[in-house]
Structure 1
């Protein structure tokens, strides 16, 4: 099953989002990589790397990020991983993309299908 990693500058946002995703699809591994190593605001390549390694169950990992340095640190984290893994950063809205991704992962979809679901979430209308 595809795993997910949530990266936000705010550890509160990432923790809350992980909790919501785990309730939606409890069988999907969703790891929190929000905040710095000290739990402050910001992001950490090492924290993201560790989360990716824990989320990897053999079918790949989708990393969902908020903005700015979360993208840069996610890219660095992927470069630091020594094992052969399929890892993709989804260019998606964090909350909507993560929810779409966890649903597809829970249905056993491929890495590419999970990423596509996440990125397609940016086209979803909230208000009609």
Structure 2
């Protein structure tokens, strides 16, 4: 199953979005929150992201979903075969990715589902 890592400047924000997506999906998806810094401050930590990638990686790839600015730069440090960065709305993209991953979709399909969430924000 594809793993998903949420990267935010805020630990509580990343944790709450992960919890929301897990509750909506109601299926155990390898989903992790890497928010804030090691000391609980605001920022993004490459060390926390690396640890979370390792935790959620089940061999089918990992999608990184950053919230903004520095989190995007931190996520891009980890782009590699099997690890992709999704440029998506943080909440909607996460939920779409979790639902798609829970259905057993491959990495590119989970990424496409997350990216498709952007269309539903346009009025």
Gaps of 5+ in 2: none
Within-5 A mapping of 1:28-39: 28-39=29-40
For the residues of structure 2 that align with 1:48 and 1:25, how far apart are their CA atoms? 24
**Alignment of structure 1 residues 103-122 onto 2, 5 Å:** 103-122=99-118
| 8 A Cα contact 1:43 1:69, kept in partner | yes
Deviations 1:68-106 (A, max 9, x none): 110111122x16xxxx86111001011000000000000
Q: State the Cα distance separating 1:125 from its structure 2 match.
A: 3.9
**Alpha carbons 1:25, 1:102 under 8 Å: kept:** no
Equivalence for 1:22: 22
Structure 1, unpaired ranges of 5+: none
The corresponding residue for 1:101 is 97
Who is 1:48 aligned against? 49
Map Cα deviations across residues 46-65 of structure 1 (whole Å, 9 max, x no partner): 11011011110010000000
CA contact (8 A) 1:64 1:94 kept: yes
List structure 1 segments (4+ residues) > 2 angstroms apart after TM superposition: none
Alpha carbon RMSD of aligned pairs, Å? Answer: 1.7
- Secondary structure at 1:57 match in 2: coil
TM-score of the two chains, using structure 2 as the length reference:
0.92
